[in-house]
Amino acid sequence: MAREKTWQDVIAVDELEQGDATPVTHNGREIAIYDTVDGIFVSMARCTHGAANLCDGYFNGKHIECPLHQGLFDARTGKALAAPARVSLKMLESRVKDQMVQILI
């Protein structure tokens, strides 16, 4: 029987890099939290092409560019937008509650 998923606090909203990508390690997993023009979104932190930490890349409020080979992803959906990235990011279901960013695990 599968265990029930629960919301877990990750980081306080006021600790985020405003308008940028914030790296967080949660339960041993590296995740990226994006403060986008459309709200807060969360993905796994590593590029699907070269495994670089996306939080070290350029972020324009919607898109995150990998610092290694300049692959481009939509930070809101995870969709790979530019080569060499072809595989979309794994996005994590997230929400903001009581000024905390939470993910569903």
Task: Kindly report, residue by residue over 49-84, the tens digit of the pLDDT.
Answer: 999 999 999 999 999 999 999 999 999 999 999 999
Assign domain 7-104 to its CATH architecture: 3-layer Sandwich (2.102)
Cα–Cα dist 52/34, whole Å: 16
The average confidence (pLDDT) of the chain is: 97
Q: What is the pLDDT of residue 69?
A: 95
Q: What is the pLDDT of residue 48?
A: 97
Average pLDDT of the segment spanning 2-21: 95
67 close to 55: Cβ distance less than 8 angstroms:
no
Q: What is the pTM of this model?
A: 0.95
Q: What is the pLDDT of residue 14?
A: 97
The structure tokens listed for 100 are 């905390």
Counted residue by residue, the chain has a size of 105
Task: Kindly report, residue by residue over 71-80, the tens digit of the pLDDT.
Answer: 999 999 999 9
